[in-house]
Amino acid sequence: MARLKTQVVIIGGGPSGLLLSQLLDLKGIDSVLLEKHSRDHVLARIRAGVLEHGFTELMREAGCGSRMDREGEIHTGFFIAHNQIKDRIDLSGLTGGRTVMVYGQTELTRDLYSARDARNGKVFHQAAAVTPHAISGPTPYLTWQDTKGAAHRVDCDYIIGADGFHGVSRAAIPKDRIRTFEKTYPFGWLGVLSRTKPASPELIYARHARGFALCSLRSQVLSRYYIQVPLSDSVADWSDQAFWNELRRRLPVDVAGALQTGPSIEKSIAPLRSFVAEPMRYGTLFLAGDAAHIVPPTGARGLNSAASDIHYLYHALCDHYLQGDDRGLDSYSDRALARVWKAQRFSWWMTSLLHRFPDNSPYEQHLQQTELDYLLSSKAARTTLAENYVGLPY
């Protein structure tokens, strides 16, 4: 069995794991990253594209922000469409100049891979049967197999589980030492990616009697659109033309009339759910990102919540290795969860505000409309929305 030794092992080669390994490397802290899929598979994932201020600062600190700053789009606001009206939420004006960056997760991940390659980062793809061992004690290690079936072992000080909801990290924690909270919504998002000019220079969140819709973008030539659909629907139920027709029905007439359509590059349905696991640490194993929490995509908090976990872990590990200070590691779970639950609240609120819930009573429908009316008539309410959307402080 081939054997390695490092300081930190990171399970999961998505943007969170790559970002943490890059940040640690720049501080002289050694890490090994294990990813069960190929690099091509990771880069083929279509994910979020709205980055809050804190995430962009982490990318710059990691030396990975130059292309993001050059090609990404700064958004100072977004629209809420309803009853043939578009009301703009002025993010910058309501938060003292704070904004968000629109930059596709695929490009962000590509930048992180390039940075790890440039520093000869130890990133192992197609790592099978990854198994954490002895995580309750001071000498944890992992075993895994490469593509040829050869066995490997990595000894380390700490294990970071950034391997998603279905990964091995959370499952390695004894069931009586972790508590989970979950909410499943009665609908999903049908998403289409197309090489078309975006419907709007800023995102449009549309509330409609037929269901929610979102006009988003990855660039000025790449658009991402979503419509709310029943969980019983499948991608096969929706031709491109059927999707475009339904999207138009849910948008204001002026937006629908100018909408450019084309063949879908990617089409998928994502169920909406909320999930939190507590605590986010067990012994020498720390959870981050989707391994510990999931939010509906309505408020663009998923990737950004993972980034806040990485912020806390990065600084805690630096304090441990560079200053001999373990307070950050000891408080990691509490600090991360405090921000996670705020992201949960915001995502739940945005989802509840903008979607059609099939079982809502007329009373609940009136309350939903009243909530929207209040939001759009109150600067204080819009400020709360804007503060959460651009990202709460770490």
Give CA–CA dist 246/97, Å, rounded: 36
Average pLDDT value for residue range 286-309: 94
How many Cβ atoms from other residues are within 10 Å of residue 102's Cβ? 23
Query: Percent of the chain, pLDDT > 70?
Result: 99
Domain boundaries, the chain: 2-76+98-181+273-350, 185-272+358-390
- Please determine, for residue 47, whether its predicted confidence score (pLDDT) is greater than 80: no
CATH classification for the domain delimited by 185-272+358-390, as one of 3.50.30.20, 3.30.9.10, 3.20.20.70, 3.40.50.720: 3.30.9.10
Query: In this predicted structure, what is the pLDDT of residue 222?
Result: 87
Give 301's strand partners: none
Give per-residue pLDDT as tens, 324-364.
999 999 999 999 999 999 999 999 999 999 999 999 999 99
Query: In this predicted structure, what is the pLDDT of residue 21?
Result: 98
Query: Percent of the chain, pLDDT > 90?
Result: 94
Give per-residue pLDDT as tens, 217-274.
888 888 999 999 999 999 999 999 999 999 999 999 999 999 999 999 999 999 999 9
Query: In this predicted structure, what is the pLDDT of residue 49?
Result: 82
- Please determine, for residue 189, whether its predicted confidence score (pLDDT) is greater than 80: yes
pTM of the entire predicted model = 0.95
Give per-residue pLDDT as tens, 279-290.
999 999 999 999
Give per-residue pLDDT as tens, 190-219.
999 999 999 999 999 999 999 999 999 888
Query: In this predicted structure, what is the pLDDT of residue 30?
Result: 98
- Residue 222 CA to chain centroid, in angstroms? 19
Amino acid at residue number 270:
A
How many Cβ atoms from other residues are within 10 Å of residue 50's Cβ? 25
Give the model's confidence band at 46: pLDDT under 50 very low, under 70 low, under 90 confident, else very high.
low
Query: In this predicted structure, what is the pLDDT of residue 1?
Result: 80
**Which segment of 33-37, 77-81, 104-108, 127-131 scores lowest on mean pLDDT?**
104-108
- Please determine, for residue 320, whether its predicted confidence score (pLDDT) is greater than 90: yes
Residue-level length of the chain? 394
Hey, what CATH topology would domain 2-76+98-181+273-350 get? FAD/NAD(P)-binding domain (3.50.50)
What residues have CB less than 8 Å from 224, skipping those under 6 apart? 46, 49, 191, 192, 193, 216, 217, 218
Q: Which of 249, 262, 263 has the alpha carbon at shortest distance from 206? A: 249
Give CA–CA dist 93/96, Å, rounded: 6
Q: Which of 263, 215, 273 has the alpha carbon at shortest distance from 239? A: 263
